């Protein structure tokens, strides 16, 4: 990843602070969210190509696999700092590493989930997030019937125990899968307990201090697009 930096060492000495190269601008400037959203698809595909023994891949060919514009792929990859060779493309193994690094998929983030209902249960059951560097290690609820049980090996605790456990385990991510009426309250607690990022599935805006990251995900969004198309295609 730093070959790149050394390549441009000479220029940097000439004109120090202003005018960094395009590549660097890309790396430090805000990366468009749509680009970040596409990156996991690149990564999954690359892992597959790698397991098939493919060494090189060009942006246009990635583009065909994913039905994306070829230059879009080139630009997206540039955001990560990757660079390829004309006529050949990118080195699959390098690209995988760069993407994992960029996305933070190679870290071990541990998460607590609050609200052990159907949605919470589904997220826990779906072990796939581990491949992306996040592991749900415990769930919390206030329903006495759920407390003490476990979901696919993940224990469900009383919400009151969150604080103590989160502090001891250095938990960074909190997942909210409660009804929206209690989402803000849970978020406040999470912030107080030192959580750094909140993944909120309740369809409500959550207010947090600016140093805490919030990602809202509305589970019905994709379904809405399909059903709406079905509705209007008749």
Q: Which residues contribute to the site for DNA (CB under 7 A)?
A: 21-23, 26, 32-35, 58-61, 68-72, 74-75, 77-78, 82-90
| Least distance CB 54 / DNA (angstroms) | 13
CB-wise, 58 or 172, nearer to a copy of itself? 172
| Least distance CB 59 / DNA (angstroms) | 3
**Measured between alpha carbons, how far apart are the two ends of the chain, in Å?**
51
In order, the DSSP letters of 24-63 are HHHHHSPPPHHHHHHHHHHHHHHHHHHHTT--EE-HHHHH
| Least distance CB 53 / a copy of itself (angstroms) | 14
Rounded CA separation 64/60 (Å) = 6
| Least distance CB 35 / a copy of itself (angstroms) | 10
Whose CA is closest to 42, among 30, 55, 26, 59?
A: 59
Decide which of DNA, a copy of itself, none touches 173; Cβ closer than 5 to 8 Å per partner kind.
Answer: a copy of itself
How crowded is the C-beta side of 7, counted as CA atoms within 13 Å?
11
Decide which of DNA, a copy of itself, none touches 161; Cβ closer than 5 to 8 Å per partner kind.
Answer: none
DSSP designation for 30: P
CB-wise, 149 or 217, nearer to DNA? 217
Decide which of a copy of itself, DNA, none touches 39; Cβ closer than 5 to 8 Å per partner kind.
Answer: a copy of itself
Handedness of CA 27, 29, 30, 31 (dihedral sign): negative
Rounded CA separation 159/147 (Å) = 9
Give how far the C-alpha of residue 42 lies from the chain's centroid of Cα atoms, to the nearest Å.
13
Decide which of DNA, a copy of itself, none touches 5; Cβ closer than 5 to 8 Å per partner kind.
Answer: none
Decide which of a copy of itself, DNA, none touches 132; Cβ closer than 5 to 8 Å per partner kind.
Answer: a copy of itself
| Least distance CB 73 / DNA (angstroms) | 7
């Amino acid at each position: 990843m730093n070959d790149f930096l050394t390549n441009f060492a000479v220029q940097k000495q000439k004109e120090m602070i202003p005018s960094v190269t395009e590549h660097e601008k890309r790396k430090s400037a805000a990366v468009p969210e749509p680009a970040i959203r596409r990156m996991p698809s690149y990564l999954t595909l690359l892992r597959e190509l790698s397991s098939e023994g493919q060494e090189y891949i060009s942006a246009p060919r990635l583009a065909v696999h994913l039905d994306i514009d070829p230059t879009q792929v080139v630009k997206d990859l540039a955001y990560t700092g990757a660079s390829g060779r004309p006529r050949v493309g990118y080195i699959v193994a390098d690209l995988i590493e760069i993407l994992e690094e960029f996305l933070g998929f190679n870290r071990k983030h541990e998460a607590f989930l609050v609200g052990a209902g159907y949605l919470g249960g589904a997220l826990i059951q779906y072990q796939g997030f581990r491949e992306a560097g996040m592991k749900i290690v415990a769930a919390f609820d206030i329903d006495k019937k759920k407390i003490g049980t476990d979901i696919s090996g993940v224990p469900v605790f009383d919400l009151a125990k969150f604080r103590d456990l989160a502090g001891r385990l250095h938990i960074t991510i909190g997942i909210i899968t409660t009804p929206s009426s209690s989402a803000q309250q849970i978020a406040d607690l999470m912030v107080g307990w030192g959580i750094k990022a909140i993944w909120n599935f309740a369809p409500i805006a959550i207010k947090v201090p600016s140093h805490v990251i919030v990602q809202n995900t509305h589970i019905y969004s994709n379904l809405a697009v399909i059903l709406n198309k079905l509705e209007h295609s008749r």
